[in-house]
Structure 1
Amino acid sequence: MGLDNLLEKLGRNSPDAINEAVRVISKIAENILKDPKNMKIRTLQKSNAAISNKILALEGGADCLTMLGFQETATSFTMPSSTSIESITEFKEILVSWKNSIFTNDNVISQEDKKAKNEIAPHEESTKDVIKPVVLPPLELMYSNPFLRRMEVHANDVLQYEDEKLRARCRKLIPVTLLEFNSQERLRAVQKLAKKDQSLDVDVSVQDMLILELLSWFKNDFFTWVDCMECEHCGGETAFSHMSTDPKHLVYTERVELHRCKSCRQFTPFPRYSDLNILLETRKGRCGEWANTFTLCCRAMNWDARLVVEENDHVWTEVYSITQKRWLHCDSCENICDTPLIYESGWNKKISYVIAYSAEEVQDVTWRYSSNHKAVLSRRKNCLENQLLDALFTIRDKKQKALSEPRKKYLTKRTLMELVEFLIEKKSSDEDKKGRISGSTAWKLRRGEIQCDVTSHVWSIHSSDLIDNNTVTIKYCCAQDKYEYSSGSNILKALERWASGVFNHQSVFRKVETDWKMAYICREDGKVEGALTWKLDLSNCTKRLDSVDIFFDYATFENGRVEVNICSENSCYSLPRGEKKMTISGIHDVRGLTITAKLTEGKGNCAWQHAQLFRQNLDSSDYPFSIILKFK
């Protein structure tokens, strides 16, 4: 079939059906272009709901897949590896351009297209019926304590998530079909791994995978972080100046920041909206706007979700996992799920009060977000603990007054299970120790939410250390996350945690896969390169160095790459590609050595995991990294 005939045939469908089909086909093409060697994403099952309902059900839908490069079989469409990238790109661009042209000509433009073309503004006349503000019930404050009054306000504000029109409007903006398709693929991959290793306990569902997909879409495709506004006068860089009191600015919000341009010195307003109808249009802000809108998205997906407010100026979301029977921490700003200790361990926050709010309950969830409950209690001075409990019970009873008895019993049982969870302090992992992603470095440093690692460790070798056969060894076990410095069977020093033994490191962390029971060091998600350097000082050793034996275990996947270099003052040696052992002789007059590992390359969304150092089972006591120094 020719291209013109195909487009004429596809154009017989409804505008909504065309828009959705082109969107799904474009996303399929984009996934293939991002990871062209992945045959899994080149196979589309006809039984898949997204493929069946959004593409194959349309007149000309199957022809679009054929034109894109897929070949039809009895149960699926498969794209051969020989299909050129150029042809995929060309057809996708043609299809999108055709869709935009007919929608423009027919004056049938989707809300997303209008936003992209700046044809719609918050609260303009033509969309008053669409973005009419949600009317919340009047609030009569019961408490005089400022903290408890804030709790009452938050408890009332979250009722907006239950507005059916607002949720329906939000759901139309979420690419549900595509996210469901991706989550099913993600779940299948996990299940396949579980079949290979029968010891794995994979207690997850499509909903759990869908939460991860929604977080990724929200972070990467939907919402935008704002540190400072671009100057609306000259396009230059601005900096926060002060809060506006001008009534002209205070429209639909009581908080408007004024950012002053560093070039033209003019002011640009940045309204801090809480009206969700406006946020669905502007799609930008900081953590308040992000968490507010993401929680709405979760409720639009019909999940039990609640807004979590931390007293020291951060907010996020919790979603209840039906399969796991527990609340999952979800931070849309960071695209992270189920790492609740990250704020205390990674951002250096002094947790005091963390309260979760939904239409049905209000809960003190502070204990989920701290590994030191005693320290937290010492900081809780906003009210007496019994006053807080009384307020929680009072507000919760008010919220649940109109609920059915079965629903009340379910919520009570769920609350009791959650309280039992809080009885045990959790221990932070390296995943929890990762710093904040969202916001500029200067902004995060001002807030004290990232930590600078200034502990540059140097392994100093002394003559007195050479107890056994003029030899010393430095070795690291990733499973136990510890170093040992020894001479023969004599342990001279032991260090806990991988970072305590390195001279410097960049964009790497120790990944612990609890499901697979593996540990390794890899790049941080989204980083192009990671690096670590170990430094040895030999200036305090009177004996001459004879040789160095290096054992450096690593694993690569796809085209992931690990480069290891051993350098002295005068020369450098590289670990041969694919080799993990190396002996260097004849370097007698050296005062120091450095061992540097660089982690690069990889493919797709998991590229950061495709170069791994010291990968080993958590039960292992072996040392995948060792340096043996032999002296004369």
Structure 2
Amino acid sequence: MESCDDIVATLVKENSKENFVSASDVLIKFANNLLNHPNEPKYKKIRIGNPAVQSKLLNSVGAMECLFIMGFEETEDGEHLTFPHDKSLQFVKSIRDGLMQELAKLQTPQQQGQVQQGVRRDLPQNPPNRQGVSQLMASEMQFLGRLRDGMRRVQQYENPNIQEKARLTIPLDSLQQEAEENFKAAQSKGNSKQDLRDFLLLALLKWFKYTFFKWVDTLPCDQCGGATQHNGGVQPSNDDLRWGASRVEAHICRVCNINTRFPRYTNPEKLLTSRKGRCGEWADCFTLCCRALGFEARYVMDWTDHVWTEVYSISQSRWLHCDPCENVCDKPLLYESGWGKKLTYVIAVSKDEAQDVTWRYSAKHKETLSRRKLCREPWLRQTIHSMWKNQISTLPQDRQKELWARLLCELTEFICIKTDDENLPGRSTGSLAWRQARGELGTLASARFVSDTNNSNSAGFVFTPSAKELVSKVMHVKYNCSTDKYIRKSSEDENIRGWETCVFEQNNIFRKEEPDWKMVYLARTEGSTKAQISWKFDLTNTNLKMNKLELKAQSSIFENGKISWRICAGDNCTSLTGSSLQDSMMLDLKGCKTLVLVAVLERGSGDNAWQQTQLFRQSSQDLESYPFEIKLILS
């Protein structure tokens, strides 16, 4: 918390003379009432609807902070500030004396005498505009409260003991190996914008989404394991409250009629072990993991009900949008253009700063601005900047200069309006009904399927023959799901990490690890009803044609799940079921130039339907076998 001298200095520096004088008059009056009548309850309570508070304190940066430092606290109903009965009056006197000293510097000798008595009768009194002012004041106080909650929240990520627990949880060696391999691959393609740390961030994001954390719509029944549905809330226990779960959902079993409790933890240490939740829990725990690995990270609050993370990229000198729920990095228009959100306020907070980053996430600044009704823009700018300056004021000078330089770059970025010509997907996490109710399916279908598998305009990966493959007239690719690596056979084997690296197109697919069963496979994303994945080979720019295809694609199906395959060689397509590809099969390709292999995963029963169609399932300890293998004989 700021000192009394600091907040008085802020009030002087950050406001016009007129606003400073007006605010000081009100504050001195409140202070004198307390000091002169310490036992009078009426002087220990300030109504937020008080016209003097609305018209003078709210307009002045630091004025409300003066009241809080004096010792006033906001009531639960948000309508009053109260001074606790057992609170010392020391800070009240310090604030009052500091304000009177500053006012005295501005006045003539005659006026100074009036100031020493805490009276300013010579000042003109402007009648307040009462229409809607009370509501606006209450709204701005709530806004300020949420900002402060955010600032308190991010301090949890800075606990060295909790960071150490996170580091022990994160498989850093494997993530670094994955980052190094992808970094080298990017370098070979001439990509110089990202450094190794950027690729480590991407590896962390992917691991967090697909291996570590789990999305919760409703929990399975504690008693029978059956499906449940929301049934309101229950009283939090002392242990729940210890871990920040003041809200506990009840999920009632459709069979047992028993409630399963779902505490909504806000403590990131607890989330390292519970490993489940919705976007709030995901952002809390992921931001902690970023801080544990030394990334500068912000917790981002969206007033249209979502949260995510921003991470500063040193190599790119900018903040990167990271949504762990979606495994998406640096796609800031995802929410507006993809999900169809009508954004209003997006605020980022960290241990060092606070920033209004709305303009990074919107390509429609005028529309967004027209929806911002919770507070006045000048008030918001002044409040955010004041918080920012207060946060950095205790930092070393070199660090302050660095953050000032970053601030200028960031504000320049916000001035440049982004284009939204990229086709971004709707939300993938949460049940279809839940996403539809929130209006976050987006303009694209949640499970988009390729109608023309030979579309040459796709931005996905396409296998084209290397020089060695042109000589050998064989293209041979196989995939091990346990190591998550492709091996491309030639005179020397090429290892390619990441199932999605060689995919032509995919929708609603992720790699699932089951630590308990020690199994791994590709599956539909949780809550999705259908998914698709494809691989493409193209000889168009060569004088060769495809002659024979040898294919193996093992899959596992449970309940009434269904996996179907489509092999399109040129204009001819053949459909097969999942069971047809368990063992190697040979197909005549009749001299075509392109080949696309498509797998469609669908159906299944209950809340775990997504898990009942599995591609390339194998033991996580099986490093030798290859459940997916394609061999093309060329001529």
TM-score, length of structure 1 as denominator length: 0.52
What are the equivalent positions in structure 2 for 1:196-345 lying under 5 Å apart?
200-245=190-235, 247=237, 250-252=240-242, 253-345=245-337
**Aligned position for 1:478:** 457
**Partner-residue secondary structure (3-state), 2:339:** coil
What are the equivalent positions in structure 2 for 1:103-114 lying under 5 Å apart?
none
What are the equivalent positions in structure 2 for 1:310-459 lying under 5 Å apart?
310-430=302-422, 433-451=424-442
- Structure 1 contact 291–316 (Cα < 8 Å) conserved: yes
Listed one character per residue, the Cα deviations across residues 433-461 of structure 1 (whole Å, up to 9, x for unaligned) are 21222222122112111137589xxxxxx
Q: CA RMSD in A?
A: 4.4
- Structure 1 contact 311–354 (Cα < 8 Å) conserved: yes
Residue 249 to residue 172, structure 1, CA distance change in 2 (3 Å) = closer
**Partner-residue secondary structure (3-state), 1:317:** strand
Distance in 2 (CA, whole Å) between partners of 1:310 and 1:378 is 16
Distance in 2 (CA, whole Å) between partners of 1:597 and 1:213 is 27
What are the equivalent positions in structure 2 for 1:612-623 lying under 5 Å apart?
none
Distance in 2 (CA, whole Å) between partners of 1:317 and 1:371 is 20
Amino acid at match of 1:563: C
Distance in 2 (CA, whole Å) between partners of 1:263 and 1:316 is 36
- Structure 1 contact 564–575 (Cα < 8 Å) conserved: no
Residue 209 to residue 476, structure 1, CA distance change in 2 (3 Å) = closer
Residue 265 to residue 349, structure 1, CA distance change in 2 (3 Å) = same
Distance in 2 (CA, whole Å) between partners of 1:440 and 1:330 is 22
Distance in 1 (CA, whole Å) between partners of 2:254 and 2:411 is 51
Q: Percent identity?
A: 39
**Aligned position for 2:184:** 188
**Aligned position for 1:563:** 568
In the alignment, structure 2 segments of 5+ residues that lack a partner are 1-68, 75-80, 82-136, 447-453, 460-502, 511-521, 524-530, 554-565, 574-586, 601-614, 619-625, 631-635
Amino acid at match of 1:411: L
**Partner-residue secondary structure (3-state), 2:165:** helix
Alignment partner of 1:167 is 2:163: yes
CA offset at residue 562 of structure 1? Answer: 5.0
Residue 476 to residue 208, structure 1, CA distance change in 2 (3 Å) = closer
Listed one character per residue, the Cα deviations across residues 529-586 of structure 1 (whole Å, up to 9, x for unaligned) are 6489xxxxxxxxxxxxxxxxxx999999997985169799xxxxx995662599xxxx
Listed one character per residue, the Cα deviations across residues 298-317 of structure 1 (whole Å, up to 9, x for unaligned) are 11111110101111111111
Distance in 1 (CA, whole Å) between partners of 2:211 and 2:319 is 25
Distance in 1 (CA, whole Å) between partners of 2:394 and 2:533 is 57
- Structure 2 contact 426–445 (Cα < 8 Å) conserved: no
Listed one character per residue, the Cα deviations across residues 183-216 of structure 1 (whole Å, up to 9, x for unaligned) are 111111111x32xxxxx44221110000011111
Amino acid at match of 1:435: G
What are the equivalent positions in structure 2 for 1:24-173 lying under 5 Å apart?
144=138, 145=140, 146-173=142-169
- Structure 1 contact 564–598 (Cα < 8 Å) conserved: no
Distance in 2 (CA, whole Å) between partners of 1:177 and 1:314 is 31
CA offset at residue 221 of structure 1? Answer: 2.0
CA offset at residue 161 of structure 1? Answer: 1.3
**Partner-residue secondary structure (3-state), 2:312:** strand
**Aligned position for 2:42:** none
Alignment partner of 1:522 is 2:505: yes
Listed one character per residue, the Cα deviations across residues 571-628 of structure 1 (whole Å, up to 9, x for unaligned) are xxx995662599xxxxxxxxxxxxx994679999xx9xx99xxxxxxxxxxxxxxxxx
Listed one character per residue, the Cα deviations across residues 343-367 of structure 1 (whole Å, up to 9, x for unaligned) are 1122111111111010100011111
**Partner-residue secondary structure (3-state), 2:592:** coil
Q: Pick the structure with greater CA Rg.
A: 2
**Partner-residue secondary structure (3-state), 1:147:** helix
Residue 249 to residue 405, structure 1, CA distance change in 2 (3 Å) = closer
- Structure 1 contact 307–317 (Cα < 8 Å) conserved: yes
- Structure 1 contact 303–319 (Cα < 8 Å) conserved: yes
Amino acid at match of 1:442: A
- Structure 1 contact 575–581 (Cα < 8 Å) conserved: no
**Aligned position for 1:579:** 592
Distance in 1 (CA, whole Å) between partners of 2:338 and 2:231 is 29
Residue 558 to residue 167, structure 1, CA distance change in 2 (3 Å) = farther
CA offset at residue 405 of structure 1? Answer: 1.4
Amino acid at match of 2:410: E
Residue 368 to residue 578, structure 1, CA distance change in 2 (3 Å) = farther
In the alignment, structure 1 segments of 5+ residues that lack a partner are 1-136, 195-199, 456-474, 481-519, 533-550, 569-573, 583-595, 612-632
Amino acid at match of 1:210: L
- Structure 1 contact 139–156 (Cα < 8 Å) conserved: no
1:177 equivalent among 156, 173, 178:
173
Distance in 2 (CA, whole Å) between partners of 1:233 and 1:345 is 42
Residue 251 to residue 378, structure 1, CA distance change in 2 (3 Å) = same
- Structure 2 contact 344–369 (Cα < 8 Å) conserved: yes
Amino acid at match of 2:196: V
Number of matched residues? 377
